């Protein structure tokens, strides 16, 4: 068991069978969410870390151990890496009891102490009393816990979770989130959680890496990545709908603002004076930064007023999702969410004209596409 | 009732299973898990004895093992016996014509084991041997049993190849199937009838056993 | 695999190798199917020794012997096969004629044919289209089949009958076909027709001897034969055995019938 202090470092490059260009790191005790849409290669990256797939090139180290090195020709087998992996389908051994499933995860499953240790692990994941059940006699949530216990049985150097909550209903999922959070306190190993659910990442992870088409695009805390995406592509991946192209007009240091030109508008945003004037930029504003503006109210600082016409309305519970055409141009759709009572007050209907207020401090600038 | 013939048949079936079952497990597993160029050709070759007329098979076996062949001569030099007209020769023939029954059911059974289950075992740090012993074989067990049962029943019933390669030597190559043929020619329908009935029940028992175990274990793998 | 299991497996596979010799195996033409069983029983009674028998067409057994089949004694229904084996060095000597066989027409009960040894009824039946299937031994390698063909050719019936022929692998199988309703009748060995299981199934009439080459049956010890086989070889030419052969319709060679030429094919 090597020194685990410096955590997991991953670099993977390959072209086939799936193109991957990924860089990751995760420290001991840290939970890193690996987030991306289906088919983005996150599972493949996880399998490379686990040792189930050897990438064409790259380097994977954990602590002082080198698990994979494309140049030096090092490739440690999955068993030798001591990873704990919870598969999306759990992959429990269907003919073994929960207890035996966990036992097989240990270094010496036939040792006299193995049964007791397995029992203790099952107790830790709240499955006491179910040791002698077969997987098909357990619910999905219970199977997931057995898979977790089995992954932990070996005191792994790294814990890998491949969309472990996707096959479970919402209520159970909430429960499992709580249990994972509880387990976390005792785990002092890097934990990588693959998920396509951003909310899950926000809830469970310390850091997040966004993956798309095999490329790792951004690393940071989940909130950072969601609110300060580094590119328009990331912005769209984290769910920002209002992404547009503009250019830098001017900086006003005294005012603390930068001015961005967009389709004839002059938008005032928080100062970013390092960007040269004239640079083409992408800018994004979350739906929460787009507000209805009463005609009689005066505009505040960093308020950008825009005229628009309601294009589409979708009632979703107590919210109304609105897509408005800015300047009545269908090519400039702006998404916003309006509480129902407000929508009623303003008598929002398709085709109605609107005045929108874009909050300049919510506008985020990124390099131009 | 020709008891030595029945005993000979049982010995032949038993020896065939003992030789071929481990090979079938190894081959079936390799074919289930690996992809390689020419895999379709290999699978076809292994399935060939199924569709080849027994006399064709018998002919080629005679060519390969008969007194004039290199193999036959070497064997005679070593042991003083011929490979044809001997139990050992029959065993060689039996192994050849049972290959499809040894490989195919086992290959299907291994294919039915979810790849992720194997991967989970590897991640757990299991050695290849433990993976085979503790996970793969127990999960593929219905297929293995099926293969054994099929080989048993098929060997007991094989006629054409046995006659060509083994002749009808009592105590050496006169299997129960040959004995039945022999008794019919001798106008001894009584004995032929008894032996046929025995073979019928043995075959029926074998196939029933095969279906029973398949259904009993079938649900397990879906868990 | 543990060593013990492996040894057991090897013992099972090579059970024959190096084993002490059991009773000798005797290859005999199928016309002796019933007669030889009685001779073997008499031998056992007299000497206490067992003999195992394998029956088939002489030609078939000849080929097996050439391929090294473990027989110690060969009863051929035809001298030619023995001569060829002797030429090939596979025999101890030239052997001895132990019997002369006869063929005849066999018709099962209820057949449209009559047991007419001169085959006139058969000719009439062919004319009237009453014959669909007729059984003989395979003339490619069975001596009784060859003689059946010669007799039919002599009677001028061969070409017309040929399309309706059913070939038995040996004369015993031909008798099977003829006796159990697969055919309207057939030409089989006299020795088979005399056996109770066959006789009960139909009627039989001898075909004249001079319609075909004689069936001089020769027995020979094969190279490597042991003492029991040699003793049986002698027994088979003795008075006891000759009596059995005669009971089954064979002629035995001690006093040659006047007018018959010795040797021959």
**Tens of pLDDT, residues A227-252:** 889 998 999 999 888 999 999 999 98
Q: What is the pLDDT of residue A355?
A: 87
Q: Is A150's CB within 8 Å of B114's CB?
A: no
Distance of residue C265 Cα from the nearest chain B Cα, in angstroms:
27
Kindly tell me the burial class for residue C9, based on how many C-beta atoms sit within 10 Å of its own C-beta (0-12, 13-18, 19 or more): middle
Please state the rounded mean pLDDT for residues A306-323. 89
**Contact with chain A for residue B35, Cβ under 8 A:** no
Which residues of chain B neighbour A79 with C-beta distances below 8 Å? 122-127
* C-beta separation of A54 from A17 below 8 A: no
Average pLDDT, chain B: 88
Q: What is the pLDDT of residue C82?
A: 95
Q: Is C70's CB within 8 Å of B81's CB?
A: yes
Q: Is A134's CB within 8 Å of B223's CB?
A: yes
The pLDDT tens digits of the residues spanning A39-67 come to 888 999 999 999 999 999 999 999 889 99
Distance of residue B59 Cα from the nearest chain C Cα, in angstroms:
13
Lowest-pLDDT range, A182-196, B109-123, C158-172?
A: A182-196
pLDDT tier, C255 (very low <50, low <70, confident <90, very high otherwise) = very low
- Nearest-by-Cβ selection for B220 from A77, A87, A95: A95
Please state the rounded mean pLDDT for residues B32-60. 91
Closest chain C residue to B168 measured between Cα atoms?
Answer: C54
Q: Is B127's CB within 8 Å of A83's CB?
A: no
Quote the tokens at residue C227. 């003492």
Q: What is the pLDDT of residue B116?
A: 92
Residue B31's alpha-carbon distances to B26, B44, B102, B109, B138, in angstroms, are 9, 12, 13, 11, 18
Looking at residue C251, what DSSP letter applies? Answer: B
Which residues of chain A neighbour B119 with C-beta distances below 8 Å? 52, 78, 87, 91
pLDDT tier, B174 (very low <50, low <70, confident <90, very high otherwise) = very high
| 3-state secondary structure at position B22 | helix
β-pairing verdict for A31-35 and A207-212 = parallel
Q: What is the pLDDT of residue C13?
A: 65
**Contact with chain C for residue B7, Cβ under 8 A:** no
pLDDT tier, B185 (very low <50, low <70, confident <90, very high otherwise) = confident
Distance of residue B212 Cα from the nearest chain C Cα, in angstroms:
28
pLDDT tier, A350 (very low <50, low <70, confident <90, very high otherwise) = confident
Quote the tokens at residue A110. 């036939």
**B222 compared with A101, residue with greater pLDDT:** A101
Kindly tell me the burial class for residue A183, based on how many C-beta atoms sit within 10 Å of its own C-beta (0-12, 13-18, 19 or more): middle
Q: What is the pLDDT of residue C3?
A: 65
pLDDT tier, C263 (very low <50, low <70, confident <90, very high otherwise) = very low
**Contact with chain B for residue C170, Cβ under 8 A:** yes
Sheet with A257-262: strands ordered across: A265-270, A257-262, A243-252, A280-284, A364-367
Q: What is the pLDDT of residue B176?
A: 93
Closest chain B residue to C169 measured between Cα atoms?
Answer: B185
Q: Residue A99: is its pLDDT beyond 60?
A: yes
For an interface test with C, give the residue of B15, B66, B133, B185 to mutate (most C CBs within 10 A): B185
pTM equals 0.77
Lowest-pLDDT range, B61-65, B118-122, C4-8, C187-191?
A: C4-8
- Nearest-by-Cβ selection for B135 from A52, A84, A93: A93
pLDDT tier, A29 (very low <50, low <70, confident <90, very high otherwise) = confident
Query: What percentage of residues in chain C have a pLDDT greater than 90?
Result: 71
pLDDT tier, A5 (very low <50, low <70, confident <90, very high otherwise) = low
Please state the rounded mean pLDDT for residues A144-163. 92
Question: What is the rounded CA–CA span in Å between residue A6 and residue A23?
Answer: 16
**B27 contacts: CB under 8 Å, gap ≥ 6:** B46, B102, B103, B106, B107
DSSP state letters, A24-79: EEE-TT-EEEEE--TTSSHHHHHHHHHTSS--SEEEEEETTEEEEETTTTEE--HH
Q: What is the pLDDT of residue C5?
A: 64
* C-beta separation of A92 from A143 below 8 A: yes
Closest chain C residue to B184 measured between Cα atoms?
Answer: C176
Query: What percentage of residues in chain A have a pLDDT greater than 90?
Result: 41
Q: What is the pLDDT of residue C21?
A: 63
Q: What is the pLDDT of residue B167?
A: 85
**Contact with chain A for residue B128, Cβ under 8 A:** no
Which residues of chain A neighbour B135 with C-beta distances below 8 Å? 93
Buried b or exposed e, range B73-109, using 16+ CB within 10 angstroms: eebeeeeebbbbbbbbbbbbbbbbbbbbbbbbbbbbb
Which residues of chain B neighbour C32 with C-beta distances below 8 Å? none
**Contact with chain C for residue B58, Cβ under 8 A:** no
pLDDT tier, C264 (very low <50, low <70, confident <90, very high otherwise) = very low
Q: Is B126's CB within 8 Å of A51's CB?
A: no
Average pLDDT, chain A: 89
Q: Residue A1: is its pLDDT beyond 90?
A: no
Q: Is B222's CB within 8 Å of A94's CB?
A: yes
DSSP state letters, A104-165: HTSS-TTSTTHHHHHHHHHHHTT-TT-TT--GGGS-HHHHHHHHHHHHHTT--SEEEEESTT
Query: What percentage of residues in chain B have a pLDDT greater than 90?
Result: 53
pLDDT tier, A169 (very low <50, low <70, confident <90, very high otherwise) = confident
H or E, element range at C196: helix C196-199
State the residue for tokens 């543990």. C2
Q: Residue A303: is its pLDDT beyond 80?
A: yes
Which residues of chain B neighbour A105 with C-beta distances below 8 Å? 124-125
Q: Residue C262: is its pLDDT beyond 70?
A: no
Quote the tokens at residue C192. 């088979």
Furthest C-alpha separation in chain B: 66
Which residues of chain B neighbour A77 with C-beta distances below 8 Å? 122
pLDDT tier, B216 (very low <50, low <70, confident <90, very high otherwise) = low
Q: Residue A357: is its pLDDT beyond 70?
A: yes
How large is the C-alpha radius of gyration of chain A?
25
Lowest-pLDDT range, A27-31, A107-111, A298-302, C143-147?
A: A298-302
pLDDT tier, B162 (very low <50, low <70, confident <90, very high otherwise) = very high
Residue B206's alpha-carbon distances to A122, B145, B217, in angstroms, are 42, 10, 17
Question: What is the rounded CA–CA span in Å between residue A146 and residue A135?
Answer: 9
Which residues of chain C neighbour B91 with C-beta distances below 8 Å? 13
Distance of residue C168 Cα from the nearest chain B Cα, in angstroms:
10
Please state the rounded mean pLDDT for residues A338-363. 87
Which residues of chain B neighbour C30 with C-beta distances below 8 Å? 185
Question: What is the rounded CA–CA span in Å between residue C105 and residue C126?
Answer: 15
Q: What is the pLDDT of residue A84?
A: 93
H or E, element range at A303: strand A303-316
H or E, element range at B18: helix B3-33
The pLDDT tens digits of the residues spanning C72-108 come to 999 999 999 999 999 999 999 999 999 999 999 999 9
**C182 contacts: CB under 8 Å, gap ≥ 6:** C133, C135, C166, C176
**Contact with chain B for residue C224, Cβ under 8 A:** no
Q: What is the pLDDT of residue C12?
A: 66
pLDDT tier, B209 (very low <50, low <70, confident <90, very high otherwise) = confident
| 3-state secondary structure at position A360 | helix
- Nearest-by-Cβ selection for B169 from C18, C67, C70: C70
How large is the C-alpha radius of gyration of chain C?
20
H or E, element range at A320: strand A319-326
β-pairing verdict for C185-189 and A74-75 = unpaired
- Nearest-by-Cβ selection for B123 from A50, A94, A135: A50
Please state the rounded mean pLDDT for residues A288-301. 79
Q: Is B122's CB within 8 Å of A79's CB?
A: yes
Evaluate the CA torsion angle B169, B171, B175, B178 in order and state its sign.
positive
Please state the rounded mean pLDDT for residues A97-116. 91
Residue A222's alpha-carbon distances to A24, A35, A267, in angstroms, are 15, 10, 27
């Amino acid at each position: 068991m090597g020194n685990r202090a410096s955590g997991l470092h991953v670099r993977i490059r390959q072209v086939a069978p799936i193109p991957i260009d990924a860089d990751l790191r995760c420290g001991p005790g840290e939970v890193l969410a690996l987030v991306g849409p289906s088919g983005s290669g996150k599972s493949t990256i996880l399998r490379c870390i686990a040792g189930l797939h050897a990438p064409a090139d790259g380097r994977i180290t954990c602590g002082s151990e080198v698990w994979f090195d494309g140049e030096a020709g090092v490739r440690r087998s999955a068993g030798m890496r001591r990873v704990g992996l919870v598969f999306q389908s759990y992959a429990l051994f269907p003919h073994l009891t929960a207890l035996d499933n966990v036992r097989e995860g240990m270094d010496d499953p036939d040792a006299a102490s193995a049964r007791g240790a397995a029992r203790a692990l099952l107790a830790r994941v709240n499955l006491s009393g179910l040791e002698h059940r077969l997987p098909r006699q357990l619910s999905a949530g219970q199977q997931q816990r057995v898979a977790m216990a089995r992954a932990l049985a070996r005191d792994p150097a790294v814990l890998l979770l491949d969309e472990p909550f996707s096959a479970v209903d919402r209520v159970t999922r909430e429960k499992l989130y709580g249990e994972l959070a509880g387990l976390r306190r005792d785990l002092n190993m890097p934990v990588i959680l693959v998920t396509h659910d951003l909310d899950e990442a926000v809830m469970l992870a310390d850091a997040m890496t966004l993956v798309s088409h095999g490329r790792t695009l951004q690393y940071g805390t989940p909130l950072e990545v969601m609110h300060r995406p580094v590119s328009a592509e990331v912005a769209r991946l984290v769910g920002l709908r209002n992404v547009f192209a503009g250019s830098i007009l001017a900086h006003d240091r005294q005012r603390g603002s930068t001015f961005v030109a967009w389709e004839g508008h002059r938008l005032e945003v928080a100062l970013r004076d390092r960007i040269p004037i004239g640079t083409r930029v992408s800018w994004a504003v979350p739906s929460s930064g787009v507000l209805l503006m009463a005609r009689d109210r005066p505009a505040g600082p960093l308020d950008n007023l825009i005229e628009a016409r309601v294009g589409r309305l979708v009632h979703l519970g107590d919210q109304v999702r609105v897509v408005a055409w800015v300047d009545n141009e269908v090519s400039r759709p702006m998404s916003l969410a309006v509480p129902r009572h407000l929508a009623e007050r303003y008598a929002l209907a398709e085709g109605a004209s609107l005045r929108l207020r874009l909050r300049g401090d919510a506008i985020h600038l990124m390099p131009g596409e | 009732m020709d008891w030595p013939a029945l005993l000979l048949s049982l010995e032949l079936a038993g020896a065939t299973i003992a030789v071929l079952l481990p090979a079938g497990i190894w081959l079936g597993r390799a074919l289930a898990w690996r992809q390689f160029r020419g895999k379709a050709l290999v699978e076809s070759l292994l399935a060939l004895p199924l569709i080849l007329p027994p006399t064709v098979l018998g002919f080629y076996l005679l060519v390969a093992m008969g007194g004039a062949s290199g193999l036959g001569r070497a064997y005679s030099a070593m042991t003083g016996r011929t490979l044809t007209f001997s139990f050992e020769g029959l065993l060689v023939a039996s192994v050849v014509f049972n290959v499809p029954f040894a490989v195919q059911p086992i290959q299907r059974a291994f294919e039915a084991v979810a790849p992720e289950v194997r991967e989970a075992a590897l991640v757990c740090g299991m050695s290849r041997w433990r993976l085979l012993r503790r996970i793969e074989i127990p999960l593929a067990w219905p297929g293995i049993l099926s293969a054994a049962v099929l080989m048993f029943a098929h060997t007991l019933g094989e006629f054409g190849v046995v006659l060509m390669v083994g002749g009808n030597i009592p105590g050496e190559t006169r299997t129960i199937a040959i004995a039945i043929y022999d008794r019919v020619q001798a106008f001894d329908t009584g004995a032929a009838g008894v032996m046929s009935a025995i073979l019928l029940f043995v075959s029926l028992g074998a196939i029933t056993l095969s279906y029973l175990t398949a259904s009993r274990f079938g649900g397990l793998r879906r868990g | 695999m543990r060593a013990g299991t492996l040894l057991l497996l090897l013992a099972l596979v090579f059970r024959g190798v190096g084993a002490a010799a059991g009773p000798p195996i005797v290859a005999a033409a199928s016309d002796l199917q019933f007669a030889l069983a009685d001779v073997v029983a008499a031998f056992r009674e007299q000497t206490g020794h067992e003999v195992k028998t394998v029956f088939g067409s002489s030609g078939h057994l000849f080929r097996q012997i050439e391929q090294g089949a473990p027989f110690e004694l060969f009863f051929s229904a035809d001298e030619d096969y023995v001569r060829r084996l002797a030429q090939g060095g596979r025999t101890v000597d030239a052997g001895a004629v132990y019997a002369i066989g006869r063929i005849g027409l066999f018709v099962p009960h209820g057949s449209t044919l009559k047991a007419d040894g001169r085959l006139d009824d058969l000719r009439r039946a062919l004319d009237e289209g009453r014959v669909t299937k007729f059984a003989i031994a395979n003339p490619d390698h069975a001596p009784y089949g060859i003689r059946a063909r010669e007799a039919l050719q002599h009677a001028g019936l061969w070409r017309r009958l040929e399309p309706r022929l059913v070939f038995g692998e040996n004369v015993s199988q031909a008798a099977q076909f003829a006796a159990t309703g697969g055919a309207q009748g057939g030409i089989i060995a006299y020795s088979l027709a005399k056996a109770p299981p066959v006789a009960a199934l139909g009627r039989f009439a001898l075909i004249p001897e001079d319609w075909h080459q004689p069936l001089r049956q020769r027995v020979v010890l094969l190279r490597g034969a042991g003492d029991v086989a040699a003793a049986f070889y002698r027994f088979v030419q003795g008075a006891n055995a000759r009596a059995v052969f005669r009971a089954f319709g064979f002629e035995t060679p001690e006093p040659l019938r006047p007018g018959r030429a010795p040797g021959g094919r």
